[in-house]
Copies of this chain bind each other. A is one copy, B any other.
Amino acid sequence: MNFDDIITLDKADPLAHKRAEFALPANTVYLDGNSLGALPKVVKSRVAEVVSQQWGEHLIRSWNDHQWIDLPTQVGEKIAPIIGAAPGQVMCCDSISINLFKLLSSALSLNSGRNVVLSTEANFPTDLYMVQGLSDLLGEDLCQLKLVTEQQIAQSLTDDVAVLLLTQVNFRTGQLLDMHTLTQQAHDKGILVIWDLAHSAGALPVELDNCNADFAVGCGYKYLNGGPGSPAFLYVAKRHQAAVKQPLSGWMGHAKPFAFDAQYQGADSVNQYLCGTPSVIAMSALDAALDVWQGVSILHVREKSIALADLFIKLVRSQSCLVDLYLCSTEDSTQRGSQLAFAHNDAFAICQALIEKGVIADFRAPNILRFGFTPLYNSFEDIGNAVTILTDVVQTRLYTEPRFNKAGKVT
């Protein structure tokens, strides 16, 4: 495949026009949108307006006049169609970690009599840490974390399991779990499922309602482009909303927050999962970022995501000097999210050298080089350029220079 072939792919891309809606740095191929999404241009003006006009000029009145109070619901409802959720089930609030604590508590309470939270060894650490925190608080009689491999999930759905906690797309390998089948298998054993959509929401079609999902959490700052540390979201299936409660019962989740009752009474909707006052600036940024999705077919996103990743693999395979890059992700694109992971003993240094050369990927300990594909702003030309530079970095052994072996705090 030569350069002209790649340009042809971009010309045929139904999402190609979306790239212009993002403020992308010059001379950069950004393949880390799975870690931090790029900046939608509309966010700049929205944030400036929220700060200067809504806060600066209208001050406290903006809670009503600019509907700040409705932001968690409004943003939740914008996310809902992206994750296959009907209205009234998604709320934007807090972080994934905090939201997991709420949902774990809810699910364990709905399934009292069972105590095991089953998850995978390869799950994103904070998901496991939140179970550990709840387990320390409640004791193992009420909450016990059990870890298995992704292959062992189905056979581990035993009668003591209260909650199955899974991340749909593995943060390292990009392995995509079968939400429909696993949810069904869990339900057959009386197990509730919490799905972490951090690496799937906005990356591929998620069908929470169709899968009869119970609960989910997800991230605002990866494929949804809400900005660094953007508020997260959660999903609570309508059928559970009358029965659930959650312990982070802050005033924003009260049925009547501004009655200032001394007694908590949670809203009888997904609103009860709100806790404290949300950051209006941060949530407004995400709200604006979600407008980029207007008119976008998530099926087109998925098709392009697969095409970008497959092209990346093909081009890497065509370079003999890249033979030591071991593909940890499956080659079966139907089993994969929107990222590729390659193991290499010098993954950290290669990643740093790539960054210096303008290809932004990331490193995950101990030896993973990770490339994320974001169809709204990545082009096929990006992929061609990235592999050309990767080839150069490895062929010339540029990455062995000492400056590429200094780790920052964050990797």
Contacts and interface: CB of A to CB of B under 8 A. Distances in A.
Interface string A91-124: 0001111100100010000000000000001000
A258 B411 contact: yes
A386 B283 CA distance: 33
A121 B262 contact: yes
A56 to B, nearest CB: 4
A254 B125 contact: yes
Given A39-B55, A360-B61, A365-B259, A133 B279 contact: no
B260 A229 contact: no
Contacts of A157: none
Interface in A225-268: 227-232, 245-252, 254, 258-264
A280 B57 contact: no
A1 interface: no
Interface stretch (A44-52, A199-207, A208-216, A310-318): A44-52
A75 to B, nearest CB: 13
Given A25-B56, A276-B96, A409-B258, A249 B61 contact: no
B283 A229 contact: yes
B59 A251 contact: no
Name the residue among A58, A136, A229, A261 with the largest chain B CB count within 10 angstroms: A229
Contacts of A30: 59
Contacts of A397: none
A284 to B, nearest CB: 9
A250 B129 contact: yes
A132 interface: yes
Contacts of A97: 248, 250-252, 275-276
A62 B138 CA distance: 38
A264 B69 contact: no
B247 A136 contact: yes
A95 B278 CA distance: 8
Interface string A120-146: 010001101110111011100000000
A339 B61 CA distance: 19
Contact of A137 (B60, B138, B282): B138
B411 A228 contact: no
A301 interface: no
Nearest to A220: B279
A329 interface: no
Interface of A: 23, 25, 28, 30, 32, 35-36, 38-39, 43-44, 47-48, 51-52, 54-64, 68-70, 94-98, 101, 105, 121, 125-126, 128-130, 132-134, 136-138, 147, 221, 227-232, 245-252, 254, 258-264, 275-283, 285, 355, 360, 362, 364-365, 408-411
10 A-B pairs with the lowest CB-CB distances in the bound complex, closest first:
A95-B276, A97-B250, A64-B408, A133-B249, A97-B276, A228-B280, A126-B251, A279-B282, A63-B410, A39-B56
Given A95-B278, A125-B260, A147-B262, 11 more contacts: A39-B55, A44-B48, A55-B228, A61-B355, A64-B410, A98-B248, A98-B250, A126-B251, A136-B249, A221-B277, A229-B280
8 contacts: A36-B55, A39-B56, A59-B360, A63-B228, A69-B410, A94-B276, A95-B276, A132-B263
